Amino acid sequence: MLPRCAAPVCHVLLLVLCLSAAEDFDWTKNDRSSSFYYGTFPTGFSWGAGSSAYQTEGAWDKDGKGLSIWDVFSHKKGRVLRNDTGDSSGEGYYKVKDDVSLMNELKLNHYRFSISWPRIIPTGIKSDHINEKGIQYYNELIDHLLENKITPIVTLYHWDLPQVLQEKYGGWQNVSIVNHFNDFASLCFEKFGNRVKYWITFNNPWSVAVEGYETGEHAPGLKMRGTGAYRTAHNIIKAHAKVWHTYDTQWRGRQKGLVGISLSGEWGEPVDINNQKDIEAAERYVQFYLGWFATPIFHGDYPQVMKDYIGKKSTQQGLGSSRLPSFSSQEKSYIKGTCDFLGIGHFTTRYITQKNYPASRGGASFFTDRDLAELVDPRWPDPGSEWLYSVPWGFRRLLNFVKAQYGNPMLYVTENGVSEKMQCTELCDDWRIKYYRDYINEMLKAIKDGVNVRGYTAWSLLDKFEWDEGYSERFGLYYVDFRSKNKPRYPKASVQYYKRIISSNGFPNQREVETWKRRATETCSSSNQLLAAEEQRSTAANILRLIHDPLTSHMEMVTEIVVPTVCTLCILLSAVFLMFLLRRRN
């Protein structure tokens, strides 16, 4: 069932990104639905939830933290929906104990969070200054997790580059950043590596490259179409490899941890499974997504199809060399094999069909380089983010693709989950329950297929700042009341459901699983009442504040009462005056 606040219009319209291809496509032909699989996960399977620094910490300018590109980007008008910022977000910086108790409530085995680079090295350059208060904060978080038997999985880069590095060097466009990132990573290994055994160098570098430097929707907001994303990715891959080698040679012996990367991969399914062109286009979609980063890391170089397509387009555009940079043979062997485990962030699926984009000189872009179009089935549920359709079967296919392409590496699902829209203060999130149930079930099937998945991370523990969408999309298992100063958390029904999956280590049998949803939704109505009462209280408090704050109430009276009244009077008077003039003429 859809949430009461999900926008039904989304289902009325077929979102067709390639109109020409959609016309004669029979959607029913490709129905991938399959039955539910009852069973449990391997013993020791790790269940977790995730977050990232900028999205949850707040305290953007506290205790010596430096600026990140997201602080600067979100403070510029018009970059983020409603001009929201992560300045205070869910105040996670001040709520370590509270949040760990929520994890305890879920009985999580691991918690995935990221370290804010400018919080511990304010300018991003280690020789400038190290911020001890920042180190102290992460020490406190790590210690508290371990005291509660929750394994920390730590991401080094979840998009919040120190602003100084962007201004001075052009951020990820400049290869000099590789050494600065390596210094930052080494500092983290030195300070936290005695306790942290799972390191993720980068989170979703695809977004950093494409949305940060190609379309400009994300910080730093650059629109270097056709080149920006490829150069960014090139430096990120080098930085990842360098950090892996640093750990391998200097820390692994003592600390015995693992270093991986978290890649996002949406699944691309051919529109027509009998059409070779669609099959190839769908494979290209996945290669330009996950393969762009995974292929160099596992095999030493970019996917052949990327080299062919971008090379061919660059020639047609009259360029002397490909817009896709190349690795030297030393670099290839240095990069190959730099992954102890692979993190997969997965949310949705697209149907893919072949579509040719003529190569024009000024029209180069990452998207047209792929020669494909993306489509969605209008029957797929899309309760929250406009891009996020719930298509569980795509998850199993993606996991099997990873197994086949990269030699069945050790996998952790580092992000998977679904959002709801802002206006929805619905804690009885039955659509999220369904999403988790079906996606986790497809992951279980993939494990039965032989895919080496060791852990799963629900995205996300809390509602938080959702990048350019601000607070308008809520991914949390826990609802955060952002309007209240103290940012209280309320459990959604999905907390109860996920908790049962964790305690049963899967889906033991039909009879039991069928009771879970009912029991989960029973508890949420009392949380709903609590939240409603809190909302009423804060509305009343706001009214009182207005009464007691003469300047604010005066301003509001001017804008809300005086201005409209004067305008209406002016219009009326002008009309009377006009009528008077017309009468006199007659």
Task: Classify 7 as helix, strand or coil.
Answer: coil
Pairing of strands 478-480, 489-491: antiparallel
d(CA 344, CA 415): 7
Q: Provide the token pair at 451.
A: 């895919």
Binding flags for ligand NOJ, 280-319, as an x/- string (CB under 6 A): ----------------------------------------
CA 295 to CA 292: how far, in whole Å? Answer: 6
Scan residues 450-509 and list those touching ligand NOJ (CB under 6 A): 466, 475
Smaller CB distance to ligand NOJ: residue 151 or 203? 203
Between residue 184 and residue 213, which ones bind ligand NOJ under the rule CB under 6 A? 203-204
Residue closer to ligand NOJ (CB basis): 52 or 521: 52
Residue nearest to ligand NOJ (CB): 204
CA angle 443, 37, 453 (to 5 degrees): 20
The CB-of-295 to ligand NOJ minimum distance in angstroms stands at: 21
Q: Which is nearer to ligand NOJ, 264 or 322 (CB)?
A: 264
Nearer to ligand NOJ, 203 or 232 (CB): 203
What residues are paired with 110 via a beta bridge?
A: 48, 151
Pick between residue 415 and residue 426 the one whose CB is nearest to ligand NOJ. 415
Closest distance of CB 18 from ligand NOJ, Å: 24
Q: Evaluate the omega torsion of the peptide bond into residue 526 and state whether it is cis, within 30 degrees of 0.
A: no
Q: Which of residues 8-37 bind ligand NOJ (CB under 6 A)?
A: none
Q: What is d(CA 543, CA 545) in angstroms, rounded to the nearest whole number?
A: 5
Smallest separation, CB 467 to ligand NOJ (Å): 7
How big is the chain, counted in residues? 586
Give the SS3 label for residue 461.
coil
Question: In terms of CB distance, is 309 or 347 closer to ligand NOJ?
Answer: 347
> Which of 204, 496 has the CB closer to ligand NOJ?
204
The CB-of-525 to ligand NOJ minimum distance in angstroms stands at 28
- Closest to ligand NOJ by CB, 230 vs 475, is 475
The region that residue 116 occupies, defined by phi over 0 for left and psi between -120 and 50 for alpha, beta otherwise, is beta
Q: Can residue 345 be called a binding residue for ligand NOJ (CB under 6 A)?
A: yes
Q: How far is the CB of 475 from ligand NOJ (least distance, A)?
A: 6
Enter the tokens of residue 35: 């039955």
Residue pair 249/238 in contact (Cβ under 8 Å)? The answer is no
Closest to ligand NOJ by CB, 99 vs 272, is: 99
Q: How far apart are CA 237 and CA 241, in angstroms?
A: 6
Site for ligand NOJ in 46-85 (CB under 6 A): 52, 55
Instruction: Give the ranges where 117-227 is alpha helix by DSSP (H).
Output: 117-120, 132-147, 163-169, 177-192, 205-207, 213
The 8-class DSSP code of residue 163 comes to H
Give least dist CB 347 to ligand NOJ, A.
6
CB of 544 to ligand NOJ, least distance (A): 36
d(CA 82, CA 488): 22
Q: What span, in angstroms and rounded, lies between the C-alpha atoms of 244 and 247?
A: 5
Q: How far is the CB of 44 from ligand NOJ (least distance, A)?
A: 26
CB of 512 to ligand NOJ, least distance (A): 31
Distances (CA, A) of 340 to 248, 256, 332, 452: 10, 11, 17, 13
Distance CA 114, CA 563 (A): 48
Q: Measured from the CB atom, is 341 or 475 closer to ligand NOJ?
A: 475
Q: How far is the CB of 163 from ligand NOJ (least distance, A)?
A: 19
What is the C-alpha end-to-end distance of the chain, expressed in Å? 66
Chain positions 400 to 429 lying near ligand NOJ, rule: CB under 6 A, are 415
Residue list 142-171, contact with ligand NOJ (CB under 6 A)? none
Q: Where does this chain bind ligand NOJ (CB under 6 A)?
A: 52, 55, 203-204, 345, 415, 466, 475
